[in-house]
A and B are shown apart, each in its own frame.
Chain A
Amino acid sequence: MAPKLHSRQLLTIICEADLERQLVTELHLLGVRGHTITDARGQGAHGDRDALWPTSANIRIEVLCETPVLDAVLNILEESYFKSYGLVAFVSEVAVLRAEKF
């Protein structure tokens, strides 16, 4: 029997490492139940983010959630983060097992 897959949203946020504590707190207040963070570096509108020291480091936050939580998170990002911070967010639809976890 094929395993039962469920559709969920995968939100990926790449942002300044300094935002980690604040953003993660905010995500969980909005109903996100788990997240994964990896160190990242790269280049973009905010120049070279080479991770040579903490101030120039980026992180990549991944969150699996349902559409209402996703919308709430995206609204907060638009309201409070996009204007002042180096931050990109994108969403893709993915299939997960154990839907109750996300």
Chain B
Amino acid sequence: MPFEPVILFFLLGLLAGIVRSDLKIPGVLYESLSIFLLLAIGLKGGIELARYPLGSLAGQALVVLAAATLIPLVAFATLRRLGRVPRADAASIAAHYGSVSVVTFAVAASFLGRLDVAYEGYLVVFLVLLEFPALLIGVILAQQADGQTRWGPMLQEVLSGKSIVLLVGGLLIGWLAGPEGIKPLDRLFIDLFKGILAFFLLEMGLVVASRLGDLRKAGAFLIGFGIAMPLTGAALGLVVGNVLDLSVGGSVLLATLFASASYIAAPAAMRIAIPEANPALSIGAALGITFPFNLLIGIPLYHDLAVRLAREI
């Protein structure tokens, strides 16, 4: 199975963290790199968006959103029924898995680029759309838990959070400026993208290594969940991609979106909205298991399945 070399940087970070190297990437750099990545992904999506009629996209977006609603619901039911996970924790974890990981998406796009597999550039719009509905579903699912729900601060946290502001802002700028308008910025936002992604993955390796202790708290059930859930999501994504007649590349990206779990927007929002949920569980599963799983095994696997599916049909 082909793999994306940029993930070697992730493995390097992971290894450095495990051997307790003194390598540290300052928090400010993490912030700067994530701002760059979010903006660059938004811009690229915006440029692509300008090529498609918005009307036909709206229909696709509705189907994708409706299908994506299933993910937190299935996650919640599984955690509650099979795992006997407390309601607040189950709701918070469900929200993490329903929402999406921007970096996993970027690695999948880069994987496709390396294989010369084309994809619909407007899928970035779905990345934006899928970011927050699951967080609201998570809060609704948690409502019967003890404690009051803080809708206001939570909505503020999500909608004015940097991931939405930069992704949506980048999309709009890219869409308004078009490919010609963005050209002077290409060197920064397009050419440097992969290098910055490599840097960010190095940092994520360190972060994941620092969260490995959480896995002990999470227990065997959550570890299994962290692998089964992305597989379930990816299967749904491939089916939806097929129904919408997306290209193989588009289906792989949609499967990756459905398979990924958020660790930028969701942890901050859930911390405010469901205070009684233990963040070690949701972050341990989303970041400790699902993120590396998608990077190392998931993305090539979803590609393989999408190719087979396309051949069958």
Residues of A within 8 A of B (CB): 16, 18-19, 21-22, 25, 39, 47-48, 50-57, 80, 83-85
CB distance from A20 to the nearest CB of B (A): 10
Q: How far is the CA of A44 from the CA of B271 in the complex (A)?
A: 18
Task: Say yes or no: B283 contacts A52, CB within 8 Å.
Answer: no
Contact of A22 among B24, B25, B153 (CB under 8 A): B153
Contact of A18 among B147, B206, B271, B276 (CB under 8 A): B271
Q: How far is the CA of A92 from the CA of B255 in the complex (A)?
A: 55
Is B263 an interface residue, CB under 8 A from the partner? yes
CB-CB under 8 A from B268, the residues of chain A are 18, 54-55
CB distance from B6 to the nearest CB of A (A): 19
Task: Say yes or no: B27 contacts A52, CB within 8 Å.
Answer: yes
Task: Say yes or no: A50 contacts B210, CB within 8 Å.
Answer: yes
Task: Say yes or no: B275 contacts A84, CB within 8 Å.
Answer: yes
CB distance from A78 to the nearest CB of B (A): 14
Task: Say yes or no: B25 contacts A54, CB within 8 Å.
Answer: no
CB pairs A–B below 8 angstroms (25 shown): A18-B267, A18-B271, A18-B272, A19-B271, A22-B272, A39-B27, A47-B280, A48-B213, A52-B25, A52-B30, A53-B30, A53-B203, A53-B207, A54-B30, A55-B268, A55-B271, A56-B210, A57-B27, A80-B275, A83-B275, A83-B276, A84-B147, A84-B276, A85-B271, A85-B275
Q: Mark B274-297, 1 if CB is under 8 A from A, else 0.
A: 011001100100000000000000
Task: Say yes or no: B27 contacts A16, CB within 8 Å.
Answer: no
CB-CB under 8 A from A47, the residues of chain B are 213, 280
CB-CB under 8 A from A25, the residues of chain B are 153
CB-CB under 8 A from B203, the residues of chain A are 52-53
CB-CB under 8 A from B276, the residues of chain A are 83-84
Contact of A54 among B27, B147, B153, B156 (CB under 8 A): B27
Contact of B207 among A16, A52, A84, A85 (CB under 8 A): A52
7 new A-B contacts at CB < 8 Å, known A22-B153, A53-B30: A39-B27, A48-B213, A50-B210, A52-B206, A54-B30, A57-B27, A84-B276
CB distance from A16 to the nearest CB of B (A): 7
Q: How far is the CA of A55 from the CA of B92 in the complex (A)?
A: 15
**Contact-residue size bin, chain B (C-beta under 8 Å from the other chain):** 20 to 34
Is B304 an interface residue, CB under 8 A from the partner? no
CB-CB under 8 A from B213, the residues of chain A are 47-48
CB distance from B28 to the nearest CB of A (A): 9
Is B245 an interface residue, CB under 8 A from the partner? no
Task: Say yes or no: A21 contacts B24, CB within 8 Å.
Answer: no
CB distance from A30 to the nearest CB of B (A): 16
Closest chain B residue to A51, Cβ basis: B27
Closest chain B residue to A47, Cβ basis: B213
CB-CB under 8 A from A83, the residues of chain B are 275-276
Residues 114-153 of B contacting A (Cβ, < 8 Å): 147, 150, 153
Task: Say yes or no: A52 contacts B153, CB within 8 Å.
Answer: no
CB distance from B164 to the nearest CB of A (A): 15
Task: Say yes or no: B156 contacts A21, CB within 8 Å.
Answer: yes
Is B4 an interface residue, CB under 8 A from the partner? no
Is B186 an interface residue, CB under 8 A from the partner? no
